[in-house]
Structures are given as structure tokens and as C-alpha cells.
A and B are shown apart, each in its own frame.
Chain A
Amino acid sequence: MFKYLKRPLLMAARSTVRSLSGSAATTSITSSGGGSLIEVNKALNGWEHKLKDAGVRDTEFNLKCIVSHVLQRKFNTVPDDFAQLKFNAEQLADFERFCEARCARMPLQHIIGEWDFMDITLKTAPTVFIPRPETEEFVRLVIENYKNVKHVDMLEVGCGSGAMSLSMLHALPQVDATAIERSKAATALAWENAKLLGLHQRFKVHNHTMEEDKYMPEELKDKQYDLIISNPPYVKTDEFQYLHPEVVVYENLNALDGGSDGLRVARLVFELACRHLRPGGKLWLELGNEHPPLVKTIMHLQYQGRLTFVDSYFDQYKRERFVQLEKV
């Protein structure tokens, strides 16, 4: 994983060399043969400031995550004041490297190599989209709707790290999941996460990019599903200018770009659903802020007799972003 830190570190070196005036290591390590320890609170000295200067918010939280990761301890077992915690020389070096990377706006989740999603912890990897908290609410909603269903053949379009499918599989033993994903890195990561979580028996991921007239890969062209879920890229092209560096530099724009109205990829999913959802089967989508009413209109205008708009739902921030459609 460390080889991926070279680029952000170079960027950090170039852009922050002035702010790191003097020696970078303001902490001194007495090398008296055999591990000398440095207090975490001493090692932290100055980093909160540097992070803030680099434009990072929630600095205390970021630092606690990094400290926990370096000490290989669970976040909720580390005291907020880091009392009595110490780094050895190697840990100190890691800590400073991770802080530098964070100053270069590398996402926290990429630095610590993992992130939680509902009741599971997923491995993260550079360029692969990091699951958002809104998506947890989305999955909770879907689970609620399917927890009493005997058996579910599910398809996920654009699974990324595997967050949605794997948390569904973890919660509901009656679900079998297939996923398609355009990014090779994400496909590999999703499979790795499935194995790490012991869910690989019920999960298959195929590296495939949807296009008109080739919505599914060859091996899945005749498959039908009870449920299709997707959090397709839905950011509008003209919103890209507002994206933070964590998102625009380190995550994959393919995972975000929804074209001019944000629904370019969703439209491909509608077509896929028409061909691969069983009658009565459902399509659940997580989309952007203003999309549900647009989707309702599109269904009425273009999908009569094929797909119907069932309902829309709000995320935990009270934004209407989730929709449920049904195959006629």
C-alpha cells in the first residue's frame, strides 16, 4: 500500500515545503539502542495546525483515526486524550507519513486502508470509490423490504468496493448477489472484500462496462433477477468544480460522472432492468438531490408498460434521494 503514497507525498513535498520550515521531525528520538518510545501527544505536536492549513476539517477525528491505525487498535478503544500512548520509531515514521498524506488531501479511508459500512469493515484501495454514509441508509431501507422474503436473486450495478452487496449478504442469508463493475481495481477489491468477510460463496463480481445494447457481460446475458440495486454515478458534470481534492484527485471520476443532468448512467440501468428484472421485481436506486421527481417523469413518459415508479424515500439528512421502481 505504501507505494501509492509516493505521488501524494511528492505533491505534499512540493506544496507544503514552506510550511514545514526547519526540520520536519520536531520530535527527537533518543537512539539508545533498542526501541525508544515517544509519547503520542508529543508526536502530534503541530500536526493539527498543518492539517487545518492544508484545508482538512475534523482534524481531531482524522488524527485519532490515524493514531489508532498506527497502533493497530480499534478506534473506540483509544482515549480521546491519547493518555499514556506511545509510538516506537517505526510507528512514529508511519504516523508522520500518514499525516503528510492527509495534508496532501489523500482520503482518510485510503490512508488507513479500511472503512466501516453498517456492520462490516471493508478494505479500501486507491482510486476505488469510498462508501458514503447516505448509502448505509439506502441499504437499511432495502434490507427492511427484503428481510422476510424467502430467496432473493440480486444484481448490483457498479458495486465499487462491494459495500452494498456485501452488507446485504451479511444481513440477509437468503440473498445471492451478482455484481457488475467497470473498474478493474474495484472489481478486484470487491472480490477481496467478499473473501475477507466470508461471503464469497454468495457473491460474484464481473468486470464489465455498461453500454447501449451491451448492458450485461456475455456470461450474464440471459440472467434474470428479483432485485437490482445501484448507486450509479449521479454527479452532474457542472458540479465537478465544487468537488474536494479527496474526491476529485483520489477517487475515480467514472464513479461520479452522471453527465449533464446526472442521470446518464441511471438511464442505462433502467434499460438493463427492463431486460433483466423478473416481472414484479424491483429496482432500487440511490441518486442525487433533485433526481426522484425526474425519474418519476421519465417512467411515465418512456417506460409505460415496462417500469413503474413505486415510491421515493429520504436519506438521514432529509434529502429525497432513493427511488424504488418495479418491473411490470
Chain B
Amino acid sequence: MLMLRTLARPLSSNLCRLASTAHLDYSRYPTLQESDIEENLMRGSGPGGQAVNKTNNCVFLRHLPTGITVKCHLHRLASKNRIEARKILLDKLDVHLNGDHSIAAQMKQLDQKKSTERKRRQGKLQEMKKNWQSRERTEDEDATIKN
């Protein structure tokens, strides 16, 4: 019933941030089989449909082969939460199956690389500033001595 093709990539704000520099390896990213998922869809007993106006937006998923569970009530609508829950489940499965090679781990490594690179550049800049300042000071001292 759901279009799982659209779930190929995880929904992550981090992804947007890294979009320009990301070289993420999706080759190990898992796919989700609907037959592997148990979903709670509670509409209660009784007729449902027109007769009922209950607003239950919470979706629980259980991945049967691994036992991983997801609960999602982020959106007002259960139909949106069903999609969101599957995205979260995919990310969790990825971490479970691929560990260090999971997309989450890759993004963390990229983040760390960026941060160490930034620190290295800042350190270099500080050094350059210090050198320039000490050079300026010695030039001043020379100038005052001459005069």
C-alpha cells in the first residue's frame, strides 16, 4: 500500500547541512519489506469509517526479523506518522545491520572531520596572527630605538 521507493533516503536535517560535501555510501542501506513489519493500526472495534471520528495519530511498528520497534506521533495525521515511522525504522535498521557503515555513522564521521579541520584552520590562523603581532612589536621597538 505504501510507496517504499520514496523511503530510500532517511529524513534527516543533518543531511541538508552536509548536502554539499556529502559523499555518503548508500550501498549497504537496507530496504523495508512490508511483510516484515507489524503495525498497530488502532481504529478500535466497531464500524469505523463515517460512523467514527476518533483521532488516534500514534503509530507503532515492529520489525519482525530483528525485533526493532518504533513509535511515532510526530504529526497530527496517522498516515503521515506511518511514513515517518518507516523512515525512522529504516535508519534504526541501518545502524543495527551496518554499524560503522551506517549512514548515521558516516555522517558523524564527516561531522568530526569537519570539526577537526575547522580547529586545525583556526589554530593555524591564531599562529599566523601571533607571528604578525610579534613582528609588528619588534618593528615598533626598532623604530623607537632609532628615534
Q: What residues make up the interface of A, taking CB atoms closer than 8 Å to B?
A: 57-58, 61-62, 65, 75-76, 107-109, 115-118, 129-130, 132-134, 136-137, 140, 231, 233-235, 239, 242-244, 246-247, 251, 255-256, 286, 288-289, 315-317, 319, 321
Q: Mark B34-50, 1 if CB is under 8 A from A, else 0.
A: 00000001010011111
A-B contact number at CB 8 A = 87
Q: Mark B73-98, 1 if CB is under 8 A from A, else 0.
A: 11111111000000000000000000
Q: Which one of A109, A132, A235 has the greatest number of beta carbons of chain B within 10 Å?
A: A132
Chain A at the B interface: SS class: mixed
> What are the residues of chain B within 8 A of A239 when measuring CB–CB?
47, 51
Which listed residue, B51, B55, B76, touches A242 by the CB 8 Å rule?
A: B51
- Whole-angstrom distance from the CB of A156 to the nearest CB of chain B? 16
Hey, what's the 0/1 contact readout for B47-63 against A, CB within 8 Å counting as 1? 11111111111100000
B94 CB to closest chain A CB (Å) equals 23
Q: In the assembly, what is the distance between CA of A315 and CA of B54, in Å?
A: 16
Contact for B53 among A76, A251, A289, CB less than 8 A: A251
The interface on chain B, measured as residues whose beta carbon lies within 8 A of the other chain's beta carbons, has a size of: 24
Task: Say if the beta carbon of B1 comes within 8 Å of chain A.
Answer: yes
Q: Which residues of B contact A (CB under 8 A)?
A: 1, 41, 43, 46-58, 73-80
A321 touches B49 (CB 8 A): yes
**A57 & B46 in contact (Cβ 8 Å cutoff):** no
Q: Chain A residues with Cβ under 8 A from B79's Cβ?
A: 118, 133, 136-137
Residues of B within 8 A of A116 (CB): 75-77, 80
- State the CA gap A316–B78 with chains docked (Å): 11
Evaluate whether A235 and B75 lie within 8 angstroms (CB atoms) in the complex, with A137-B1, A317-B41 already known. Answer: no
Q: Are B77 and A58 touching (Cβ within 8 A)? A: no
**In the complex, A137 Cα to B54 Cα: how many Å?**
16
Instruction: Answer whether A76 and B75 are a contact pair too, CB < 8 Å, given A61-B55, A246-B53.
Output: yes
Closest to A289 in B: B47
Q: In the complex, what residues of A have CB within 8 A of residue B1's CB?
A: 137, 140, 316
Query: Can you list 7 pairs linking A and B with CB atoms under 8 Å apart?
Result: A61-B73, A76-B76, A116-B80, A132-B49, A133-B43, A316-B41, A319-B48
Closest to A257 in B: B50
Q: How distant is B114 from chain A, measured CB to nearest CB, in Å? A: 27
